[in-house]
Structure 1
Amino acid sequence: MKRKFTTSLILLLTLNLLVKPFWIFGIDRTVQNLVGASDYGVYFALFNFSILFNILLDFGLTNFNNREISRHANLLSRYLSNMVTVKFLMGVVYALVSVVFALVVGYSKVQLLLLGVLAFNQFLSSFILYLRSNISGLQLFKTDSILSVIDRVLMIGLCSFLLWGPFRERFTIQWFAYAQTIAYMVTALFAFVLVVRRTKFFKPRFDRAFIVSIVRQSYPFAILVLLMSFYYRVDSVMLERMLPDGAVQSGIYAQAF
């Protein structure tokens, strides 16, 4: 077990060292330079806004699920059937809260549309993390390591085609968000198939008592994460909203983030 974990950890670190630098310095930096500080500043502010209420997508369920599956792998079918339903309900709550606060803040229609894409991406990212918690809970560490970088690899492939292909001159920040959506959807589908193949049955259901019990155990952690999200992410949102040239200033801030 120790050797298996160590090998998987080395694989995880190696994959991340190969993928993450190219994503940050090759793709993200190129997007910043291509679309300009103003457009990227709006994207960066909206991206951080979408993270503010991210805890509503999880509420500590992923950590709880990982712990329980690692202890009781035979409960995977029951937990998956409940958790998938709950994750989608949480996605609806998260979307409603995000839209309400976005309207209060005063985002334009174009900004709201981009925020909708980014919020959907946050849901997909959270769903992937939940699915990965099942994989790692089953001690499939190598599979989990590969899943941890699939979305980035797909994004690098899609964005490389858009940034250095025939569509470079027409590239917009919206395309960047859409590329992330496609990558997340493919990764989520792949991870979902892997998890379902490990179950005896899968039938979405909602066990109210089961969920209430988990939420009661998780809400202190959820409140902490919510406050931390505001602390780390609200600055770019405030820059974009409060200054006359907020989009540009947010973009400049993003370049140094």
Structure 2
Amino acid sequence: MKRKFVTNLILLLFLNLLIKPFWIFGIDRTVQNIVGAESYGLYFALLNFSVILNILLDLGITNYNNRNIAQHHHLLQKYLNNIVGLKFLLAIGYALVCLAAAFIVGYSQVQLHLLFFLIINQFLISFTLYLRSNISGLHLFRTDSLLSVLDRGLMIVFCSILLFTNWLNIEFSIHWFVYAQTLAYGLTALITFGIVLKHARNFKLRLDWRYVRLILKQSYPYALLILLMSFYNRIDSVMLERILPDPLGKQQAGIYAQAFRLLDAAAMFGALFAGLLLPIFSRMIKKREELGQLVQFAFLLIIVPAILVGVTANFYGLSIMHLLYHEHMEQSAPIFGILMAGFSGIATTYIFGTLLTANGSLKQLNLMAFCGMLINIGLNLLLIPKFYAAGSAYASLVTQLLTAVAQLAIATHLFKFKINYLLLLKLTGFLLFAILVAKLSLFLKSWQVGVVVLWSAGLIYAFMSRLISLKALVAILKNEQE
């Protein structure tokens, strides 16, 4: 299982490093620079508004399906026949709830038009993720890896045509950005559906309500978990845009989006770990295999770069913001540092939260997520009026770290993991070493060289201290150990 995890993780990282940085820095950043912070801030707030409610599109079905298909391959056709129709019914319900909530909140006609297409996009994303859960559940990780970058690849093509050519003779706006996403997500969903049909062989669209009720009864704890986590991960920009007066709210949401974009990019790569580990953990738990080694191995693979990312953002945040944007760099830089400091918490969640999900420990996870939501909303209400976007960043940092510690504690208790004090000491030493190198690197004339020095020294330290064992990695790739 270790070898399967590492080899497929390498493929996933390669494909995502090939596609997603160009999307984030070449397309998404360019769009914000062209349309401005206020217009992009409006889009960003509406996007997060649609994301918060998108659990209504899924109700936990994707995670439940992934876990069950991984353990019982023969259920693919039976599940697919019923769930596809259910997903379309859920889409109608989601759209109605979103639009009703938008009317209650008081969105304008322009905002509602944009939100309508974002609702369509959320359905297409959710449907594709459900279809991919079948593919990864069958352990077809290479196919899933290619599909994971297909939507972004198509969006790069479509947006490049809109941004860098005059072929369509249009004036680019945030609306065209959303339309391009809709087309890319739609094509990705169609291609993914075709691949799943090939493996399901005999597909018949139907709704067996007894079977649907059974699925929903078993999946609703997953739905509640995703809803609660969506609140404390995505509500920041919505609260900024709503609490602060217009146009300050949109502007602060745009400034927050500048900093959040790189956190979101880092989280995309962290999510690759979770996507690979959920079916692997599920099968290992079913077979009662020993989990400790893989959990520690995966955790160290993600926490080492997470710490380096946090340190880099806090020492070189202003330089990075100046490189990426044309306005509000001084305001977004400290927010960037605060948000990226919380990435270690997000990285921890991707390992231990995934382990608990695979184990079906939803009661504990939901209690943790509910507390996280209350903490986040409370801190946002308290801090936004005084500190604006920085207040939201502090709320996010506190929430991510507290929920990560809670999940680590729950997993340690349930799986009877022994606390590795030597490992904790090594990680503390690694953090202090990274901070020291970052401080010294500031004396270099070029900040780019400083970042390279920081990461090079950090990775060398990680290998020399055996936080990450190079020998073990080579052995796994040579299939000398499983």
Q: Distance in 2 between matches of 1:198 and 1:227?
A: 34
Q: Distance in 1 between matches of 2:203 and 2:218?
A: 25
1:115-154 correspondence to structure 2 within 5 Å: 115-154=115-154
1:253 partner letter: Y
Are residues 1:43 and 2:43 paired?
yes
CA deviation map 1:146-192 (0-9, x unaligned): 00000001111111111111168710101111111111011100000
Contact 1:55 1:222 survives alignment (8 Å): yes
Contact 2:44 2:237 survives alignment (8 Å): yes
Are residues 1:195 and 2:211 paired?
no
Show the counterpart of 1:178. Answer: 179
Q: Distance in 1 between matches of 2:139 and 2:228?
A: 32
2:42 partner letter: V
- Which of 243, 249, 254 is 2:252 aligned to? 249
Larger Rg, first or second structure (1 or 2):
2
1:4-19 correspondence to structure 2 within 5 Å: 4-19=4-19
Show the counterpart of 1:71. Answer: 71
Show the counterpart of 2:219. Answer: 218
Alpha carbons of structure 1 residues 189 and 235: separation in structure 2 relative to 1, 3 Å: same
Are residues 1:157 and 2:160 paired?
no
Are residues 1:24 and 2:27 paired?
no
SS for the counterpart of 1:163 is helix
Show the counterpart of 1:111. Answer: 111
Show the counterpart of 2:236. Answer: 235
TM-score scaled by structure 2?
A: 0.51
Tell me how far 1:3 sits from its aligned partner.
Answer: 4.7
2:146 partner letter: I
Contact 1:38 1:247 survives alignment (8 Å): yes
1:128 partner letter: T
Q: Distance in 2 between matches of 1:80 and 1:210?
A: 12
Contact 1:5 1:141 survives alignment (8 Å): no
Q: Distance in 2 between matches of 1:5 and 1:233?
A: 29
SS for the counterpart of 2:116 is helix
Aligned residue pairs, count: 257
CA deviation map 1:7-66 (0-9, x unaligned): 322111111112121111111110000011111111001000001111111111112212
SS for the counterpart of 1:98 is helix
Judge which range, 158-167 or 181-190, deviates more. 158-167
Are residues 1:61 and 2:61 paired?
yes
Q: Distance in 1 between matches of 2:174 and 2:151?
A: 18
Contact 2:66 2:136 survives alignment (8 Å): yes
1:250 partner letter: A
Gap regions ≥5 residues in structure 1: none
Q: Structure 1 vs Structure 2: percent identity of aligned residues?
A: 62
2:129 partner letter: L
Q: Distance in 2 between matches of 1:225 and 1:192?
A: 24
Q: Distance in 1 between matches of 2:2 and 2:204?
A: 35
Tell me how far 1:255 sits from its aligned partner.
Answer: 1.2
Q: Distance in 1 between matches of 2:169 and 2:203?
A: 43
Which structure would you say has the larger RCO, counting Cα contacts within 8 Å and 6 or more residues apart? 1
Q: Distance in 2 between matches of 1:168 and 1:146?
A: 32
SS for the counterpart of 1:225 is helix
SS for the counterpart of 2:139 is coil
